[in-house]
Amino acid sequence: MNMLKMCLNWRVLAGLAAVGIGVYLIAPGAILGLLPVLLLLACPLSMVVMMVGMRGMGAQQGQDSTQTRAAAPLSREQQLAQLRAQLIGLGNQQTAGKRQLALPPVRPASEHAPRAARSCS
């Protein structure tokens, strides 16, 4: 069932439903012949819509990298300073993460409440 969800795009399904309703309104007898064709077209059209969407994302990333390259190149010292600042920032994030993941301290056995003595009968 998950495979079917990945294959079908809601926009394609809405478009195919609109075509189906249009055909039903124009020629109600033709819907039975067109229904299998619409079902077969759903997955390939979904893939086309997804590829067009991914191509648009790739174009945006390409523009971002072009803008980054257009900036003046940094000197070796500036690059080292940036890397050191990133390293310090990552160290701070790591320390904060360790604090968040820290478990409560374990009490030594001597601090536990004493157990009641069992009597043998």
Helix and strand numbers (H, E) in the chain are 4, 0
SS3 22: helix
pLDDT in tens, 58-116: 666 655 555 555 567 888 999 999 999 999 999 999 888 888 887 666 666 666 555 55
pLDDT band, very low/low/confident/very high, at 17 (cuts 50, 70, 90): confident
pTM of the entire predicted model: 0.37
**CB count in 10 Å sphere of residue 110:** 6
Residue 20 amino acid letter: G
Of 48, 47, 23, 53, nearest to 37 by C-alpha is: 23
Tokens 């904060």 appear where?
96
